Amino acid sequence: MSENIKPERDGQPTGHPAADDRDSIQSRVLPASVLVVGDDEHLRDGYRRVLTKAGFGTLALPSVEAALAQFRDGQPFDVIVSDIAMPGTDGISLLRQIREHDQDIPVILVTGNPSLTSAIDAVRFGDFRYLVKPVSPTTLIASVRDAIQLHRLARLKCEALKLLSFDCEQLGDRASLETHFRIALERLWIAFQPIVSWRSGSIVAYEALVRCAECQLGSPTLLFGAAERLGRVQDLGRAVRRLVAERVSQAPLGTWIFVNVHPTDFQDPDLASPDGHLTPYAHRVVLEVTERRTLDLVQDMGERAMQLRDLGYRISVDDLGVGYAGLASFAVLEPDFVKLDAALIRDINTSKRKQSLVQSLISMCGRELGMLVICEGVETEVERDVLESLGADLMQGYLFGRPVDEFAQVAVSPKDTQD
């Protein structure tokens, strides 16, 4: 069963176009294809018919071995739907072996005999969804659609990683680093940079940016790098949140405050405590998690994010495009906002590839996943105009205001600009 079988859509063979035929990033994510795996012929065929009728290219196979043969032969799939209990190799083993080769493709596991053990194994190896039979056509289709959207987003993120690169700054020896870090904690202050809605010409939020006066760890990259190396991330996070909390009441009413948090801050009891520094202002605060740090460092991230939402916090994923490509930050955090990294925006007017990528991300995140997209690093009017033409509204950058020690009022509407 190693020959490359094409999924069928409405009775016709279909598959992903060859690389040479892909004129844009949009074309690379179509058409959607689903691999269904299960030993029960009646159920397997039923899933295939439901998904084919819903418009997906679908291939149904009777065993894990046959599925792995297709996968290893390079057959592209957007999502895999597999039964757990099968003779020989089961669905959990399929998931485990798929993860050895592909960390992104969503796998939906289906079982008629749910158990704690299988559920734990499914989570351990990164299943997308765990469904219990009988699975209704509506639930199956909705789960597959959600999985396909996130897989497409992962592909776009991979495109961004290929397009962009960044260098990590080097830190000195530990003894001097500890001294510099202690001084830095004593000299922290917070700058605020506006985030604007270009269509309405109004400021909708401010990002709180940590700064250090007269110290060797002046850049945030160095500061957080030092905190990681010294195991002092939570100390730094608490110091930042305390300083932000002292200023929130000064922000214009109706605006959000974006506060950067390291993934390990989610494990700090202070963040979700009723007595935490930011808790009284949670309804105005957006916790911004960078994609430059893997979420694998934190156990139960989804549960912790839910606790924070219950307090009123919103969640944003920062640095989209230069961080860890994959589904983790979206499947686990389900962010309200995503920020497109400044490296994607810089000189976008001169790069058709960047324009295609940004337009795809705006469409995927905004229109299909229901997130608010913020374009960072907008420095010129031409960049702003190109972004507007691509569907962007929320923007941040020097064009609208630099980070300063106050809540600046600097937004300019499109009408004002034309006048």
Tell how many helices (H) and how many strands (E) occur in the chain.
Answer: 16, 15
The CATH number of the domain holding residue 214 is: 3.20.20.450
Q: What is the pLDDT at residue 29? A: 39
221 and 144 within one domain: no
When pLDDT is cut at 50, 70 and 90, the band that residue 27 belongs to is very low
Residue 168 located in a structural domain: no
234 and 255 within one domain: yes
When pLDDT is cut at 50, 70 and 90, the band that residue 238 belongs to is very high
Least confident of 1-15, 66-80, 125-139, 346-360: 1-15
Residue 219 located in a structural domain: yes
Q: Which helix (H) or strand (E) holds 261?
A: strand 256-261
When pLDDT is cut at 50, 70 and 90, the band that residue 173 belongs to is low
> Is pLDDT larger for residue 321 or for residue 119?
119
Residue 3 located in a structural domain: no
The CATH number of the domain holding residue 75 is: 3.40.50.2300
How many other CB atoms are found less than 10 A from the CB of residue 26? 16
**What is the count of structural domains for the chain?**
2
Q: What is the pLDDT at residue 208? A: 96
How many other CB atoms are found less than 10 A from the CB of residue 347? 13
Under DSSP, is residue 280 helix (H, G, I), strand (E, B) or coil?
helix
Burial class for 14, CB neighbours closer than 10 Å (0-12, 13-18, 19+) = middle
Q: What is the pLDDT at residue 152? A: 79
Least confident of 85-99, 228-242, 337-351, 370-384: 85-99
Cβ atoms of 160 and 357 closer than 8 Å: yes
406 and 305 within one domain: yes
Q: Which domain holds residue 307?
A: 174-418
99 and 185 within one domain: no
Residue 365 located in a structural domain: yes
157 and 98 within one domain: yes
Type of residue at 399: L
Share of the chain above pLDDT 90, in %: 37
Residue 169 located in a structural domain: no
Cβ atoms of 374 and 159 closer than 8 Å: no
Largest CA distance in the chain: 72
Q: What is the pLDDT at residue 315? A: 94
What are the helix (H) ranges across 89-207? Answer: 91-99, 116-124, 137-163, 174-186
pLDDT digits (tens, 9 = 90+) for 106-136: 889 999 888 767 766 666 666 678 889 999 9
* Phi and psi, residue 395, nearest 5°: -140, 155
Give yes or no for a cis peptide into 134 (omega within 30° of 0): yes
Which of 163, 186, 203 is where one domain is finished? 163
Which of 112, 132, 163 is where one domain is finished? 163
Residue 282 located in a structural domain: yes
- 204-228: average pLDDT: 84
412 and 273 within one domain: yes
* pLDDT of residue 3 exceeding 60: no
Residue 1 located in a structural domain: no
369 and 275 within one domain: yes
The shares of helix, strand and coil residues in the chain, as percent rounded to the nearest 5, are 45, 20, 35
- 25-42: average pLDDT: 71
Q: What is the pLDDT at residue 216? A: 73
Highest mean pLDDT among 215-219, 341-345, 366-370: 341-345
326 and 217 within one domain: yes
* Phi and psi, residue 295, nearest 5°: -80, -5
367 and 218 within one domain: yes
* pLDDT of residue 281 exceeding 90: yes
How far apart (Å, rounded) are the C-alpha atoms in residues 287 and 308? 9
- 311-337: average pLDDT: 73
How far apart (Å, rounded) are the C-alpha atoms in residues 302 and 322? 22
Q: Which helix (H) or strand (E) holds 417?
A: helix 414-418
Residue 2 located in a structural domain: no
367 and 322 within one domain: yes
209 and 96 within one domain: no
209 and 357 within one domain: yes
Which of 129, 163, 197 is where one domain is finished? 163
Mean of the per-residue pLDDT values for the chain? Answer: 80
> Is pLDDT larger for residue 98 or for residue 201?
201
Write the CB contacts of 136 (distance below 8 Å, at least 6 apart in sequence): none
- 166-171: average pLDDT: 44
